Amino acid sequence: MNPTTLLLVQLAVILGVARGCGALLQRVGQPPVIGEMAAGLLLGPIAFGAWFPQMHGVLFAAKSLPPLSGLANIGVVLFMFIVGVELRAPEGNKAQIRSSVTVGIAGIVLPLLLGLAAAPWLFARFAPHGIGFWPFALFIAAAMSVTAFPVLARILKDRNMTRTPAGRLALGAAVIDDATVWIFLAVVLTLTGNSAHGGVAFTAVGALVLLALVFGVLKPVYARLLAPRARDGRHASSALVWVLIGLLGCAAAAEWIGLHAIFGAFVFGICLPREDRLLEHLAERIEPLAIALLMPVLFAVAGQATSPSAFAGAGIAGLLLVIGVAVTGKLVGCTLGARLSGHDWRDSLTVGSLMNARGLMELVVIKIGLDSGVIGPDLFTLLFGMTLVTTVMASPMVAWFHGRRYADTAGALDTGRSGR
């Protein structure tokens, strides 16, 4: 089978299995993204490779994975650009903003501390050779702190909770959490000094220069560039080309200085003007490609990186540990933050449950850790499992703590806008 034929067959299999698993999970009231992530695991060595080793060896041989990895990386870059575009500062009066900040900080600090506390045990058993303790420990802390803003927003929308006190509070806190975690992760990657052009100092200086260029140069340039095109809808295609040029350039620059390309895409998305609907329209044109085609490819590539040996020895204990730390940190931290802000226990526990949604955001984080050499395949597999479990838990926990008072349905979540 020639490389082009193999790639097309791989894509057909990946999309078919992902769509089937997504539809199955949607029937039981879960986001289809859970099924698509599970499909990635099923296509990997843990399931497909164990049950049909010869077929897996032909379809997903190691030498055939680079083209898939390239498509997956493009998908992540596009997705993180969309996340940056959709990120908004917390809204409301001063008291509501103060509450969002309180919950956001609590939802970062406690998971960070618990992650640092668990890091020595995980480091002794799962750290790859050559990685220092502190980059490893800080990465684990960051991985425990992730909230998937898109998944959270979708749960709120499907349960008619977007304008409830708990919904507004969770949305504001999730914005703060997302921005903080990506900044923290950038610092962790800077400490690893993974740039081919220099060490920690080069990456740190490069990151500052990139931020200065994006917000000092590109932001005003694109504000002037997009303004006339926003007034004339006929130039939307031209605007899309200019946005893609800036997006890919920033992503490439971030990769070159030793961060990950997604940081450049995320920052570029944040910097673009939001005074009109043009940017939202452009994101809507990019999103179907990123979500429908390239995200299932990412899940499949991530699934190929999982390790069947992850659950041997201390693996089960490690899985239970990372699930316990992740759930406890977010649930307790955000619940207490909401209580300190004056909300009752019902709303506070609802916020804590919502903030446990991780989804694709967590998978992107742990894949970055694997690609950067901060974690190995065994721990990556355990964190992949934690991502699935915590995302599956989020919607039922909200139903349990908040009841169905605001729900029109049991909440069949689709993979449309803000569904990840």
The sign of the CA dihedral 376, 381, 385, 388 is: positive
CA 420 – CA 415 distance, rounded (Å): 7
Structure tokens at 114: 């618990």
Residues 6+ apart with CB under 8 A from 126: 314, 318, 375, 376, 378, 379, 382
Structure tokens at 398: 């909200």
Give the pLDDT mean for 62-87.
88
Eight-class DSSP state of 275: S
Nearest to 105 by CA among 66, 164, 145: 145
What is the predicted pLDDT for the residue at 359? Answer: 82
Element (H, E) at 377: helix 377-402
What is the predicted pLDDT for the residue at 317? Answer: 95
Q: Is the pLDDT of residue 24 over 70?
A: yes
Report the residue count for the chain: 420
Q: Is the pLDDT of residue 398 over 50?
A: yes
Element (H, E) at 100: helix 94-126
| N- to C-terminal Cα separation, the chain | 35
Residue located via tokens 């689709």: 414
Q: Is the pLDDT of residue 277 over 80?
A: no
247 contacts 265 by C-beta, under 8 angstroms:
yes
Q: CATH fold of 72-292+321-402, please?
A: Na+/H+ antiporter like fold (1.20.1530)
Residue 408 phi/psi, 5° resolution?
-85, -30
The tens digit of pLDDT for each residue in 92-150 reads: 667 778 888 899 999 999 999 999 999 999 999 999 988 889 999 999 999 999 988 77
Eight-class DSSP state of 160: T
What is the predicted pLDDT for the residue at 325? Answer: 96
Per-residue pLDDT band for 8 (boundaries 50, 70, 90) equals: very high
Q: Is the pLDDT of residue 199 over 90?
A: no
Helical H segments across 165-277, by residue range: 165-192, 200-213, 219-231, 236-256, 261-271
CA 216 – CA 223 distance, rounded (Å): 12
The tens digit of pLDDT for each residue in 160-188 reads: 777 788 888 888 888 888 888 888 888 88
What is the predicted pLDDT for the residue at 16? Answer: 95
- pTM, rounded to two decimals: 0.83
What is the predicted pLDDT for the residue at 412? Answer: 34
C-beta pairs of 44-48 under 8 Å, 24+ apart in sequence: 44/300, 44/303, 44/304, 44/305, 44/306, 45/304, 45/306, 45/307, 45/308, 46/303, 46/306, 46/307, 46/308, 46/381
Q: For residue 106, how many other CB atoms are within 10 A of its CB?
A: 27
CA 350 – CA 220 distance, rounded (Å): 40
* Helices 295-304, 65-86: crossing angle, 10 deg rounding: 130
The tens digit of pLDDT for each residue in 348-363 reads: 999 999 898 888 889 9
14 contacts 297 by C-beta, under 8 angstroms:
yes
Which residue type does 314 have? A
CA 240 – CA 282 distance, rounded (Å): 6
Is 50 or 151 the better-scoring residue by pLDDT? 50
CA 224 – CA 210 distance, rounded (Å): 20
* Burial degree of 9 (CB within 10 A; 0-12, 13-18, 19+): middle
What is the predicted pLDDT for the residue at 405? Answer: 46
The tens digit of pLDDT for each residue in 208-234 reads: 999 999 999 999 998 888 877 665 556
Q: How far is CA 34 from CA 152, 184, 368, 392, in A?
A: 13, 26, 20, 7
330 contacts 112 by C-beta, under 8 angstroms:
no
